[in-house]
């Protein structure tokens, strides 16, 4: 597959957002806000950046993706499905017992998931370990981690951040989905971890982007590692619930149990978007 254009990536992300609503329709509820804020990043990673093969999910030498903030999993499911890792019908099992796409990602249930996440604060350590292992393999593979901004309050992240700099893990690329919100309110009010300053202080190379802009996401990943011998941190400023206008930037849409009316309104908006951005 050749590299897709920005327009093609925007279309892909629109189709993925629509798949999130399909899962919510099936399961009647889900962590919508954080899935919608990071989905452009996840789509760009799977369609533009990572060396992976949907027909061979365990391909040796593949790049690794870890969704550290596992509650955003509908973003990963939508993108894995769009990329051809599994059949669309599986989306309709969201919320059912024994589904391959449970409320947090499970590597033993769904091909393409590299680690079980959901307890916040573990994905960076897992991703660092994978990056160091891949470096030993010598095939040039990289590890990409997506974290939440609220998640940064977990102390374990900072042990991993220090170790990544110490071990010069420049094949580790981390996006913090800086949507400014967590479950109950603003991240700056609850626990302001200021990722830009702090990761830099820990010895990382840091860039800030608009994390809902495909051109900025792709430009950032084209430039990694930002400094040789340093892990890369991308502070991606995003909007929680991006794409569903009545929910954007509002904390209560972290977990959403929509009424039929709300769901239909959201579906109509995303269907219109798909038509608008179709290349
Ligand atoms: C260790 C741990 N503590 C608490 C939770 C409950 N929890 C789920 S999502 C969330 C908020 C996360 O906020 P953020 O990282 O900003 O992600 P966003 O919702 O914005 O996508 C919390 C506290 C959890 N999953 N794991
Ligand atoms: Mg957040």
Residue nearest to atom 25 of ligand 1 (CA): 119
CA nearest ligand 1 atom 21, residue: 34
Q: What mean pLDDT is predicted for residues 53-79?
A: 98
Domains of the chain, earliest start first: 6-277 (3.40.50.970)
pLDDT, tens digit, 9 for 90 and up, residues 28-60: 999 999 999 999 999 999 999 999 999 999 999
Is the pLDDT score of 1 beyond 70? no
What are 87-141's pLDDT values in tens digits? 999 999 999 999 999 999 999 999 999 999 999 999 999 999 999 999 999 999 9
Residue 123's pLDDT is what? 98
* pLDDT recorded at residue 139: 94
Mean pLDDT of all residues in the chain?
98
Q: In Å, how far are 104, 108, 110, 130, 152 from 116, measured between CA atoms? A: 8, 8, 10, 14, 18
For 126-155, write each residue's pLDDT tens digit: 999 999 999 999 999 999 999 999 999 999
Q: How far apart are CA 236 and CA 174, in angstroms?
A: 10
Global confidence as pTM? 0.98
pLDDT the model gives residue 2: 81
CA of 202 to the centre of ligand 2 (A): 21
Nearest-CA residue for atom 22 of ligand 1: 183
Number of neighbouring beta carbons within 10 Å of residue 231: 33
Residue 122 Cβ contacting ligand 1 at under 6 Å = no
Q: What is the mean pLDDT of residues 218-246?
A: 98
Distances (CA, A) of 33 to 18, 72, 117, 170, 243: 14, 8, 18, 31, 10
Of the bound ligands, which one is closest to the alpha carbon of residue 75? 1
Please tell me if the CB atom of residue 4 comes closer than 6 angstroms to any atom of ligand 1: no
């Amino acid at each position: 597959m050749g590299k897709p254009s920005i327009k093609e990536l925007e279309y892909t992300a629109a189709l993925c957002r629509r798949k999130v609503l399909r899962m919510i329709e099936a399961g009647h509820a889900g962590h919508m806000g954080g899935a919608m804020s990071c989905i452009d990043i996840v789509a760009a990673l799977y369609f533009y950046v990572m060396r992976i093969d949907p027909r061979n999910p365990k391909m040796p030498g593949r790049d690794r993706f870890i969704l550290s903030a596992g509650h955003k999993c509908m973003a990963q499911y939508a993108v894995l499905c769009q990329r051809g890792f599994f059949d669309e019908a599986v989306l309709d099992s969201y919320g059912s017992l024994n589904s391959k796409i449970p409320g947090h990602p499970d590597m033993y249930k769904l091909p393409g998931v590299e680690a079980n996440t959901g307890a916040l604060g573990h994905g960076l350590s897992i991703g660092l370990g994978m990056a160091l292992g891949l470096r030993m393999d010598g095939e040039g593979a990289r590890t990409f981690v997506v974290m939440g901004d609220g998640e940064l309050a977990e102390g374990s992240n900072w042990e991993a951040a220090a170790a990544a700099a110490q071990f010069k893990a420049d094949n580790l690329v981390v996006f913090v989905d800086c949507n400014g919100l967590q479950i109950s309110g603003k991240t700056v009010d609850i626990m302001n971890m200021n990722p830009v300053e702090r990761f830099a202080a820990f010895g990382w190379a840091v860039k800030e982007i608009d994390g809902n802009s495909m051109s900025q996401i792709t430009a950032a990943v084209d430039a990694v590692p930002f400094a040789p011998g340093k892990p890369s941190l991308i502070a991606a400023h995003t909007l929680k619930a991006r794409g569903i206008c009545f929910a954007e930037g509002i904390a209560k849409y972290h977990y959403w149990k929509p009424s039929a009316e709300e769901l239909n309104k959201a579906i109509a908006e995303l269907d219109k978007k798909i038509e608008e951005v179709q290349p």
